Amino acid sequence: PPTTASAATAPRPASMEPSPPERAVPLLQPPHQPRRRRPRPLQTPSSSSSSSSPPPSPSSPSSPPAAAARVAAAMLSISLLLVLSLSGGGSGVRVAPALAAAASAEMAQDEAIILPRRSPRHHQQLMSQRQQQTTGRGSLRPPSSASSSFSRLSGMGMVGGGCLGSKPVDVEPPKPFLVYEHDRTDSAITLSWESIKRANFYELQFQAPSGEWRSIFNGTGNFCRKRNLEPDTTYSFRMRYKRDGNFSEFTPALELDTLTEQLASTRMSMPTAESIDGETIRILWNRPPRTLKSEIQVKDEEGGPWMTVSSDVAGASARKRGLKAGHGYIFRTRCLNRETFGWTAYSEPTEIVRTKSLHPIFKELFGTKLTNAEGDEVPVDSLAGKVVALYFSAHWCPPCRKFTPALAEFYRQAKSAGRNFEIVFISQDQDNYDFRNYLSSMPWVAVPFRNARLRQSLPARFNLRGIPTLKIMSPKGEMVSEDGIREALSVDKIARWEKSGAY
């Protein structure tokens, strides 16, 4: 075999000669697509005998720049035809079939040509030239008509964000202004209504049977009581408001009957309502003898309609949950007699009872949503009015797993004693599986594991040195215990913190 030196100096075989360079790809053709050739027309005897034609000049129709211009013009024509066909459906405008066929033929003839990039100014010039060429054909509208048709499409909601066919935005209609019943006796009717933004005056009118409308309230507020009425009589009420110096239309007439004297004798006394926390109010009432069940209704302090909470309450107390923190509510009840199977009259409505407000620091610490062992979302407003303990712990920590059962037992004792006490678990685990597995053994709430920003910022905010750590805050957001693990906790101590730090 030849050596390395002899191989280097040996003449190169014919098969190893460098191949000739490939043909350059045209600039108008993408390098990954072969150039499509236009089919050659059939040769007639006269044309075959003629000499070969000279090469096409750059200005001839068959040159690539001219073909590209024709394709751009054809595309522009089709776009204008589409816009005009959409805008002129009912105005008698029709697209000329010959022009559409000609545009399609131009596209089919030059479909192998790839258009180069053009500047916006060049595109505008090309568009104006094409509009000038097609204005006199009778098939396209002048530019002014086209722009007006486009404006009409925009007003119809068919154009959004500069694109034809965009879905219009649904606007919720304003809430109608109505007047509602608030309370009824055999001699008086109380009405309520919701406030209207920027309204500075309300007028309530009253109509007796076979009487005329007359005003009984002129001013501001949400409630009005009409006295000195006849029992078991129908009365009509309507209302309007004044805003920006103009009166609104009157509401539809609301017809209400005063109670009969027999039904008024079954009217219950006013219930008692007290706020438990930021989302719960407890209602208690005097249950008449031979009562089968009770019904509870709630109304917003702003004067809206009555909403039934439950019509099947067996006892004489109930709790309404899911309320807004710091908001006011009104309640009333009635009972079903087990012998006559008739409902009593509704009780007198309670005064406005306001849920406890949540200190802003708790939303800053925990966000707006917490979670529990079942995976349900718990609003942070549920912490309003409560002593809150921050429990820093992790599943991988043996001392934490040993302390958690003892803390859970104390938590149940505080809840059984009626204390407003809550624990928020702030996990230091590394994955969601360990977080969920550990939270399943806890009867309290936790910061969601997906909220990593809050979970990672809280240890530094409270100068955390190790886990487990328990820090306790009053309802006012004040720190009452820096180390709840080493401090001897008791139910009485929780009650003292709860009363002294009410927010």
Task: Indicate if the pLDDT at residue 176 is higher than 60.
Answer: yes
Confidence band, pLDDT 50/70/90 cuts, at residue 237? very high
Mean pLDDT of 408-422: 92
The residues, any chain, with a CB within 8 Å of residue 313's CB and separated by 6 or more, are 293, 294, 295, 296
Helices (H) and strands (E) in the chain, counts: 12, 24
Mean pLDDT of 164-193: 76
Task: Indicate if the pLDDT at residue 161 is higher than 50.
Answer: no
Structure tokens at 106: 């131009």
- Antiparallel, parallel or unpaired: β 421-427 and 445-446: parallel
pLDDT, residue 357, reads 86
Confidence band, pLDDT 50/70/90 cuts, at residue 413? very high
Give, in order, the Cα–Cα distances in Å from 293 to each of 311, 314, 338: 7, 5, 8
How confident is the model over 419-455, as pLDDT tens digits?
889 999 999 999 999 999 999 999 999 999 999 888 8
Would you state the torsion angle of the CA atoms of residues 146, 152, 154, 159, taken in this order, to the nearest 10 degrees? -60
Confidence band, pLDDT 50/70/90 cuts, at residue 344? very high
| Four-residue CA torsion sign, 141, 142, 143, 145 | negative
pLDDT, residue 276, reads 84
Mean pLDDT of 54-70: 55
Q: Report the distance separating Cα 383 and Cα 447, nearest Å.
A: 13
How confident is the model over 199-226, as pLDDT tens digits?
989 999 999 998 899 999 999 989 999 9
Confidence band, pLDDT 50/70/90 cuts, at residue 486? confident
pLDDT, residue 240, reads 94
Structure tokens at 354: 């306001």
pLDDT, residue 409, reads 94
pLDDT, residue 381, reads 87
Confidence band, pLDDT 50/70/90 cuts, at residue 119? low
Half-sphere exposure of 146 (CA within 13 A, CB side): 18
Mean pLDDT of 279-307: 92
Which residues is 204 bridged to in the sheet? Answer: 217, 239
Task: Indicate if the pLDDT at residue 151 is higher than 50.
Answer: no
Mean pLDDT of 38-51: 49
Task: Indicate if the pLDDT at residue 162 is higher than 90.
Answer: no
Structure tokens at 26: 């045209």
pLDDT, residue 145, reads 41
Confidence band, pLDDT 50/70/90 cuts, at residue 72? confident
How many CB atoms sit inside 10 A of residue 291's CB?
18
The residues, any chain, with a CB within 8 Å of residue 69's CB and separated by 6 or more, are 126
Mean pLDDT of 43-67: 49
**Amino acid letter, 141:** R
Which residues is 481 bridged to in the sheet? Answer: 472
Lowest mean pLDDT of 62-76, 406-420, 455-469, 478-492, name the range: 62-76
Structure tokens at 109: 């003839």
The residues, any chain, with a CB within 8 Å of residue 194's CB and separated by 6 or more, are 175, 177, 178, 222, 302, 303, 304
Comparison of pLDDT for 497 and 97, the residue scoring more: 497
Comparison of pLDDT for 500 and 106, the residue scoring more: 500
Confidence band, pLDDT 50/70/90 cuts, at residue 402? very high
Mean pLDDT of 105-123: 48
Share of residues in the chain with pLDDT > 70 (%): 66
How confident is the model over 346-390, as pLDDT tens digits?
999 999 999 988 889 999 999 989 999 998 999 898 898 899 999
Share of residues in the chain with pLDDT > 90 (%): 45
Q: Report the distance separating Cα 94 and Cα 207, nearest Å.
A: 61
Comparison of pLDDT for 278 and 92, the residue scoring more: 278
pLDDT, residue 120, reads 56
Mean pLDDT of 125-145: 51
Task: Indicate if the pLDDT at residue 294 is higher than 60.
Answer: yes
Mean pLDDT of 260-282: 91
Task: Indicate if the pLDDT at residue 498 is higher than 70.
Answer: yes
pLDDT, residue 356, reads 87
pLDDT, residue 241, reads 94
pLDDT, residue 291, reads 93
Q: Report the distance separating Cα 275 and Cα 273, nearest Å.
A: 7
